[in-house]
Amino acid sequence: MVCLDPILNDGSFTAGEKPPATGSLIVFENVFHRYPGRGKQPPTEAVYDFSAALDPGSLVCLLGPAGCGKSTVLNILAGFEKPSQGRVLVDGKEVKKPGPDRGMVFQESNLLPWRKVMENITFGPDLAGEPKKATLKKAERFIKLTGLSGFENHAPYELSGGMKQRVALARAWISEPPILVMDEPFGALDAQTRLDMQELLVRVWEKTGSTILFVTHDVDEALFLADRILIMSPRPGTKILDLTLPLPRPRVYENLVVNPQYATLKREILLAMRRPDYAI
């Protein structure tokens, strides 16, 4: 079936069919992380012996209960935190600091209120001194891909929560990073807007071929989005289940939820999250 959405598909690919991956290979090697204690308090063990390899161009969801270390894993990959032990490799090179090869999207859009939509999207390239003409051309592409046409000159306060997250996605993607790191970016949205954003994310990912690591605590969101789901135990978080999803793309949520495979996978995930010993 050919996707006929003119915003998200120029007819060069079939829905659910991805272009060659442009993303990077990500490898977590025996990562531990502990936060120093305050005063007489002992250190907090956040992540315990976390290992995983993410294929280039894959969309992987990191799932687990609140406080299990999911965001810590993301921050280590982004370069905001250094592991207490172990290391993270991107295409064979150890991550030691933030870099332009890793775009980040948070739960809050964090738009600059004094800059219009277009100016927010081009903020990174402008700061890096990239040529204005080329930056605007790239910005126009991602404005179309994220459905923001006509909103280029709107201020952030004029946008809904979902529209703000579209701007945040376009801003993260404009530099075309091979990796996109996403920390519950749709968690604060209402149910319908959240589903719209999930569909948007998948369609733009199919166009870019980037590698995405997406943190969520929502099982249904993970099953809708991911090629693969990594499940973490309660703190200190370690990987207790690694599921490659057999669910075909394109995925339509209304059809997905009545798929017997969907129900079986959801049950296995819930058992692992509620009874961590189940998956070990």
pLDDT, tens digit, 9 for 90 and up, residues 163-184 = 999 999 999 999 889 999 999 9
Q: How much is the pLDDT for 215?
A: 95
Contacts of 33 (CB under 8 A, 6+ apart): 46, 47, 69, 72, 76, 81, 83, 84, 85
| CA atoms 78, 80, 83, 89: torsion sign | positive
Q: How much is the pLDDT for 42?
A: 87
Q: How much is the pLDDT for 3?
A: 33
Report the alpha-carbon distance of residue 2 to residue 140 in Å, rounded: 24
- Residue 146 tokens read as 């994220």
Where does the chain show beta strands of DSSP type E? Answer: 26-35, 44-54, 59-63, 85-90, 93-94, 102-105, 179-183, 211-216, 228-232, 239-244
pLDDT, tens digit, 9 for 90 and up, residues 57-106 = 999 999 998 889 999 999 999 999 999 999 999 999 999 999 989 999 98
Contacts of 145 (CB under 8 A, 6+ apart): 7, 8, 170, 173, 204, 207
- Residue 245 tokens read as 């999803």
- pLDDT < 50 regions, the chain: 1-16, 279-280
Q: How much is the pLDDT for 15?
A: 43
Instruction: Report the predicted TM-score, pTM, of the whole model to 2 decimal places.
Output: 0.87
Q: How much is the pLDDT for 4?
A: 28
Report the alpha-carbon distance of residue 141 to residue 145 in Å, rounded: 6
E strand or H helix that includes residue 256: helix 253-256
Q: How much is the pLDDT for 18?
A: 54
Beta bridge mates, 175: none
93 by DSSP, 3-state: which? strand
| CB of 69 closer than 8 Å to CB of 46 | yes
Q: How much is the pLDDT for 39?
A: 78
Report the alpha-carbon distance of residue 54 to residue 246 in Å, rounded: 17
Q: How much is the pLDDT for 28?
A: 97
Beta bridge mates, 228: 60, 244
Closest CA to 196 of 64, 14, 7: 7
Beta bridge mates, 273: none
Where does 38-170 show beta strands of DSSP type E? Answer: 44-54, 59-63, 85-90, 93-94, 102-105
* CATH number, domain 10-95+219-280, options 3.90.1150.10, 3.40.50.300, 3.10.20.30, 3.40.1710.10: 3.40.50.300
Strand pairing class (239-244; 93-94):
unpaired
* For the chain, domain boundaries: 10-95+219-280
